[in-house]
A and B are shown apart, each in its own frame.
Chain A
Amino acid sequence: MKDFNQEKTHISEVDRSIYDIKDKVDSSFEVDSGLTSAIVSKISQEKNDPEWMRIFRLKALETYHKTPMPGWGPSLDGLDIGNIVTYVRPKTDMRTDWSDVPDYIKNTFERLGIPDAERKSLAGVGAQYDSEVVYHSVRAEVAAQGVVYTDMESALTGPYAEMVRKHFMRLVPPSDHKFAALHGAVWSGGSFVYVPKGASVEIPLQSYFRLNAPGAGQFEHTLIIVDEGAYLHFIEGCSAPKYNVANLHAGCVELYVGKNARLRYSTIENWSKNMYNLNTKRAVVEEGGTIEWVSGSFGSHTSYLYPMSILKGKNSRMEFTGITFAGEGQNLDTGAKVLHSAPDTTSHITTKSISRDGGVSTFRSAITVTPQATGSKSAVSCESLMLDSISRSDTIPVMDIQCDEVDIGHEAKIGRISESAIFYLMSRGLSEEDARAMIVGGFAEPIAKELPLEYAVEMNNLIHLEMVGSIG
Chain B
Amino acid sequence: MSRPLLEIVDLCVSVEDKVILDGVNLKVNPGELHVLMGPNGTGKSTLVSTVMGDPRFTIRRGSILFEGKDITDDKADARARAGLFLSFQVPEEIPGITMENFLRTARGAVEGQQPKILSFRKELLEQMKALDMDPSYAERYLNVGFSGGEKKKAEILQMLMLKPKLALLDETDSGLDVDAVRTVTKGIRTFSNKKNGLFIITHNAKILEGLDVDVVHILEGGRIIRTGGKELISLITNDGFTILDKEE
Contact = CB atoms under 8 A, between A and B. Distances in A.
Interface stretch (A25-33, A75-83, A267-275, A428-436): A428-436
Contacts of B96: 441-446
Given A2-B55, A419-B55, A434-B105, A429 B162 contact: yes
B106 A429 contact: yes
Contact of B95 (A419, A424, A432, A443): A443
Contacts of B3: none
A425 interface: yes
Interface in B48-70: 52-58
Given A438-B105, A441-B96, A443-B95, A427 B76 contact: yes
Given A424-B88, A429-B109, A419 B56 contact: yes
Nearest to A444: B96
Contacts of B142: 442
B77 A426 contact: yes
B54 A423 contact: yes
B245 interface: no
B146 to A, nearest CB: 14
Interface string B92-108: 10111100001001110
Given A426-B76, A445-B95, A434 B109 contact: yes
Contact of A439 (B91, B94, B162): B94
B92 A428 contact: no
Interface size class of A (residues with CB under 8 A): 20 to 34
A426 B53 contact: yes
A442 B16 contact: no
Nearest to A443: B96
A426 B106 CA distance: 9
A356 B157 CA distance: 35
A432 B88 CA distance: 18
A42 B112 CA distance: 64
Contacts of B20: none
Contacts of A419: 55-56
A442 B142 CA distance: 10
B137 interface: no
B27 interface: no
A251 to B, nearest CB: 31
A439 B15 CA distance: 26
Contact of B55 (A423, A431, A441): A423
B16 A1 contact: yes
Nearest to A438: B97
B158 interface: yes
B55 A442 contact: no
A441 B57 CA distance: 28
Given A429-B80, A431-B77, A438-B102, A424 B110 contact: no
Contacts of A431: 77, 109
A430 B102 CA distance: 10
A427 B80 contact: yes
B206 interface: no
A72 interface: no
Contacts of A421: 92, 94
A424 B55 contact: no
A244 interface: no
Contacts of B91: 424
Contacts of B109: 428-431, 434
A52 interface: no
- Of A1, A2, A428, A438, the most chain B CB neighbours within 10 A belong to A428
B94 A429 contact: no
B54 A429 contact: no
B195 interface: no
A444 to B, nearest CB: 7
A442 B53 contact: no
B81 interface: yes
A428 B101 CA distance: 13
Interface in A443-457: 443-446
Nearest to A2: B55
B189 interface: no
B81 to A, nearest CB: 5
Contacts of B58: 1-2
A420 interface: yes
Interface string B189-220: 00000000000000000000000000000000
B97 A428 contact: no
B15 A1 contact: yes
Contacts of A424: 88, 91-92, 94
- Of A427, A435, A446, the most chain B CB neighbours within 10 A belong to A427
Contacts of B53: 423, 426-427
Nearest to B90: A420
A443 B81 CA distance: 26
A421 B79 CA distance: 17
A430 B55 contact: no
Contacts of A423: 53-56, 76
Interface in A118-162: none
A63 to B, nearest CB: 45
A219 to B, nearest CB: 37
B16 A430 contact: no
Interface in B139-197: 141-142, 158, 162
Contacts of B88: 424, 427
A300 to B, nearest CB: 25
Interface in B81-140: 81, 85-86, 88, 91-92, 94-97, 102, 105-107, 109-110
B75 interface: yes
A432 B79 CA distance: 13
Contacts of A438: 94, 97, 102, 105
Nearest to B81: A429
Interface in A1-28: 1-2, 4
Contact of A442 (B52, B54, B75, B95): B95
Given A4-B55, A429-B107, A442-B94, 4 more contacts: A1-B55, A427-B53, A428-B158, A430-B109
14 contacts: A1-B15, A1-B55, A1-B57, A419-B55, A424-B94, A426-B80, A427-B53, A429-B77, A432-B75, A434-B109, A439-B94, A441-B96, A442-B141, A443-B96
